[in-house]
Structure 1
Amino acid sequence: MAKLQLLPLVVAAFCLLAGVTIATDVHFQVEGRVYCDNCRAGFVTNITEYIEGATLTLECKHFQSDAVEHSIEAVSGADGYYTISVPNDHEEEVCYVKLIKSPRADCAEIVENREQARILLTENSGQANNLRYANSLGFLKDVALPVCPELLKAYALDDDY
């Protein structure tokens, strides 16, 4: 009879341990895209080309010490898409996806403040799932395409041409 009374305690302990194991096994999926800014406009246009083979890195730094706690390198695939699997919760860190290198010599310029996207990699963010979308990251084309002045007029941004 005493053994039957212990059974609920053993089951409860097992469930608690299983729950702790599952809770600490957090993985995030970061998705984004890399493009070539053909018009040097600073944003995606309808003639934007997406870059396959661009190198980027996901880096998480501790928010107090600024020490890099986690770093993963990735390469963009077809149509400039990339997916990075990130283990663990990074609540105490600030994480960014950053451009490193373009495979295209004619579209390789990295512009400060447009080369990275901040992402939250914690379950304590209010987001319903562990999929995170990073803003698109873009390299600048060496020389804007000839069609760009006309295109930017449609955006009412032709002051620079």
Structure 2
Amino acid sequence: MGKFQAAFLFIGALCLISLSGVAYGTKSHKVNHYKVQGMVYCDTCRIQFISRASTMLEGATVRLECRNITAGTETFKSEAVTDKLGMYSIKVDGDFEDDICQIVLVKSSDKECSEIPNDVYAKQAAKVTLTNNNGESSDVRNANALGFMRKQPLPECPEVLKELDMYDVPGFKN
């Protein structure tokens, strides 16, 4: 009976060891497929976030860029154009665990709303994670909304800012 118990324990231990690779996210050899999606809006009040005065931009172009963390080399790039709701979707094949991936604004479809914020605090990029080794179970990756700024704020923007308790915004009279 001792040999039987030892064999049973040995087989049980092998099963636990093989399952630990699944539990701790050991890389598999399958190809990962992702869908990165998000929206693009017109920042009609130039406040760098969506407000009730914002509009969604149809026909705007965005780019997904991935760069290797250590080498800094580009590993993936793909562009998409927004639909009538300002939404885009980019299909990605592969695992980019060792990369920094982000969506950036490329081109607006509206001449009056085409400025890309580029100051240090408002750099328009939405980071996305494209790996299964991060605890996310879905293959859909939602990027934060990105906005082009209107050249001149709309006339109703001071009222919108007042509703948001934003009284000290440069360029607006209260």
Structure 2 length normalisation: TM-score?
A: 0.78
> Which residue number corresponds to residue 119 of structure 1?
128
Matched ranges for 1:16-31 at <5 A:
23-31=29-37
For residue 56 of structure 1, give the secondary structure of its aligned residue in structure 2. strand
What percent of counterpart residues are identical?
A: 37
- 8 Å contact from structure 1 (residues 114, 138) kept in 2: no
CA distance in 2, matches of 1:146, 1:158: 16
> Which residue number corresponds to residue 34 of structure 1?
40
> Which residue number corresponds to residue 153 of structure 1?
162
Structure 1 unmatched runs, 5+: 1-21
**C-alpha displacement of 1:46:** 1.1
> Which residue number corresponds to residue 3 of structure 2?
none
> Which residue number corresponds to residue 21 of structure 2?
none
**1:92 corresponds to which letter in structure 2?**
D
**C-alpha displacement of 1:115:** 1.6
CA distance in 1, matches of 2:165, 2:115: 25
For residue 25 of structure 1, give the secondary structure of its aligned residue in structure 2. coil
> Which residue number corresponds to residue 68 of structure 1?
74
- 8 Å contact from structure 1 (residues 114, 137) kept in 2: no
Structure 2 unmatched runs, 5+: 1-27
Larger Rg: 2
CA distance in 2, matches of 1:158, 1:72: 40
For residue 159 of structure 2, give the secondary structure of its aligned residue in structure 1. helix
> Which residue number corresponds to residue 57 of structure 1?
63
TM-superposition CA deviations, 1:106-143 (whole Å, max 9, x none): 00000023421001000001112111100000000000
Give the 4+ runs in structure 1 shifted more than 6 A. Answer: none
CA RMSD of aligned residues (A): 1.2
**C-alpha displacement of 1:158:** 2.4
User: Which of 136, 144, 164 is matched with 1:135 structurally?
Assistant: 144
Structure 1 length normalisation: TM-score?
A: 0.84
> Which residue number corresponds to residue 9 of structure 1?
none
